[in-house]
Chains A and B, each alone.
Chain A
Amino acid sequence: MYLPDFDYQSPGSLKEACQILAAFGSRARVLAGGTDLMIKMKHGLLAPDVLVSLKNISQLAGIGYVQGRGVVIGARATHNDLVNSPVLQKKYLSVCEAAHHMANNQIRNVGTVGGNIVNAVPSADLPPILIALNAAVKLVGADGERELPLESFFTGPNRSVIGTDEILSEIVIPDQTSTGSTYMKFGLRRSGALAVVGVAVAVTVAGGVLKEAKIALGAVSPTPMRAVKAEELIRGRAVTDELLEEAGVCAAGECSPISDIRGSKEYRQDMVRVFTRRALRRAINEGHV
């Protein structure tokens, strides 16, 4: 296999990078880890004229807590950076765990959180848990920057609201009232498998009552999605096994999976039921795991 020819640029600042992107428009692509991009290019699905590498833009690296904003994750942080981040381990182990169950170690060492989001693959593992935790993304363009909820970022498979001159620079997980969160991935192999379904939840429990719940599903619709009806169904109600099962059934009814080589629509729907219930139970009982 081979990569088509392209021009390679490795600017030293975000501003410069955005200017290059603005100049080339859709003929340019951002290169972060490349674990997905290289494969798409080898398959001939993408043939950009220019790759703009983020490797020299140091402000995109790093994960830290910023008072008033929350946990700020640089877009170039690799999956293993997430897994090993002390801040995340302390506050949202669920994010570390979601990153840990992606792909395999070699890919986790190179693939980035920014890439995982911007590629907008419906089965991506990080978006559901980040959406459940209310995360926002910061997009920097040639003419300024904007921040928006991750939930409104995706518009379809491989599609999002990002402009051709924009770079996703940060992911921000705001301070939570939630008491627990988790991501459960159901894949057909324990390593190196895409999610057949992925279910993330964040719950706020007090006195045995679900004050608030967010349920985000992956791999069961064109974009990562919230199961809002299921959330509504359980909001404010006392936690029981029956309630959580009902939430699962409801979430299964809300999603719209396709049938493909990894699973039928029917199977995926039922797995949404099972894993929504299990994820809720885990987050309720164990906190952010």
Chain B
Amino acid sequence: MEALTDQDGIKRYLVNINVNGDPYTVIVKANTLLVNLLRDQLDLTGTKKGCELGDCGSCTVLLDGKPVNSCTVLAVEADGRGITTIEGVARSEKLDKIQESFVNNAAVQCGYCTPGMILSAKALLARNPKPTEQEVREAISGNLCRCTGYVNIVKAVLEATGD
């Protein structure tokens, strides 16, 4: 991987990533986490920080289609890969079916877990378009929500399945 070293000897790496369909070349230190790259350098603040230890799922993004906690992934490790953040879920004024279902089912309260929740659900429906309730619960069990008791979230995901 290409790297530049500044006058203080600090090395910075050239990272090529595709975010929400758009190619970016960014320069990061080795210790830059993917979540900070997205939030601080690309201004994609829909990806939240809740615990920074991989426990809460607020920072969930899709890495090559799979949900991961961006707080424990190095930006340099994402080089050459594709990332979907919450900002990339709806591609026009029209919301994605899951997003719409979250709004219609009162699945959003404070909204802080919502981006990660939606991305986990999105990944589930991509590989399993007709999940059972238990499969939905499992798929979002890495996303903690303190407001809803998950009741309406589960309902919203189930309602977004199928045709």
Question: A residues touching B (Cβ–Cβ < 8 Å)?
Answer: 1-8, 10, 31, 34-35, 38-39, 42, 51, 53, 55, 80, 103-107, 109-110, 190-192
Among the listed B1, B30, B120, which residue makes an inter-chain contact with A106, where contact means beta carbons less than 8 Å apart?
B120
Residue of A nearest to B127 (CB): A84
Q: Across the interface, which residues of A come within 8 angstroms of B104, CB to CB?
A: none
Chain A positions within 8 Å of B77 at CB level: 31, 34, 53, 55
On whether the beta carbons of B52 and A42 are closer than 8 Å, the reply is yes
Q: B72 interface residue, CB < 8 Å from A?
A: yes
Closest beta carbon of chain B to A278's beta carbon, Å: 21
Interface pair B52/A106, CB less than 8 Å apart: no
List 29 contacting pairs A-B, 8 Å CB cutoff, sorted by A.
Answer: A1-B52, A2-B31, A3-B31, A5-B31, A6-B31, A8-B1, A10-B1, A34-B73, A38-B54, A51-B30, A53-B76, A53-B77, A103-B54, A103-B142, A104-B57, A104-B141, A105-B67, A105-B142, A106-B60, A106-B69, A106-B120, A106-B142, A109-B63, A109-B68, A110-B69, A110-B72, A110-B73, A191-B141, A191-B142
B12–chain A nearest beta-carbon distance, Å? 10
Smallest CB-CB separation from A10: which chain B residue?
B1
Nearest-Cβ distance from residue B95 to partner chain A, whole angstroms: 23
Given contacts A2-B31, A8-B13, A109-B67, contact A104 B72 (CB under 8 A): no
Question: Can you name 9 extra interface pairs (CB under 8 A) apart from A8-B11, A35-B54?
Answer: A5-B30, A5-B31, A38-B72, A104-B142, A105-B138, A106-B142, A109-B66, A109-B68, A191-B141
**Contact present for B68 and A106 (CB under 8 Å):** yes
Q: How far is the CA of A38 from the CA of B10 in the complex (A)?
A: 20
Verify if B139 is at the interface (C-beta below 8 Å from A). yes
Interface residues of B (CB under 8 A from A): 1, 10-11, 13, 29-31, 33, 52-55, 57, 60, 63, 66-69, 71-74, 76-77, 120, 138-139, 141-142
Expressed in whole angstroms, the minimum distance between the Cβ of B154 and any Cβ of chain A is 14
For residue A10, which residues in chain B have a CB less than 8 angstroms away from its CB?
A: 1, 76
Task: Please give me the residue from chain B that is nearest to A78 by CB atom.
Answer: B66
Contact present for A42 and B53 (CB under 8 Å): yes
Tell me the complex Cα distance, A109–B74, Å. Answer: 15
Interchain CA distance A105-B30 in the complex, whole Å: 26
Q: B71: which A residues are within 8 A, CB to CB?
A: 38
| Bound-state Cα–Cα, A103 to B66, Å | 16
B72: which of A34, A51, A190 is its contact (CB, 8 Å)?
A34
CA distance A247 to B55 in the complex (A): 36
- Give the contacting residue for B54; candidates A3, A8, A106, A191; CB below 8 A: A106
A39 to chain B: which residues have CB within 8 Å? 53-54, 72
Q: From the candidates A1, A5, A35, A190, name the one contacting B141 in the complex (CB within 8 A).
A: A190
| Nearest-neighbor residue (CB-CB) of B13 within chain A | A8
CB of A35 within 8 A of CB of B72, answer yes
The answer to whether A192 and B30 have CB atoms under 8 Å apart is no
Cβ–Cβ < 8 Å partners of B52 in chain A: 1, 42
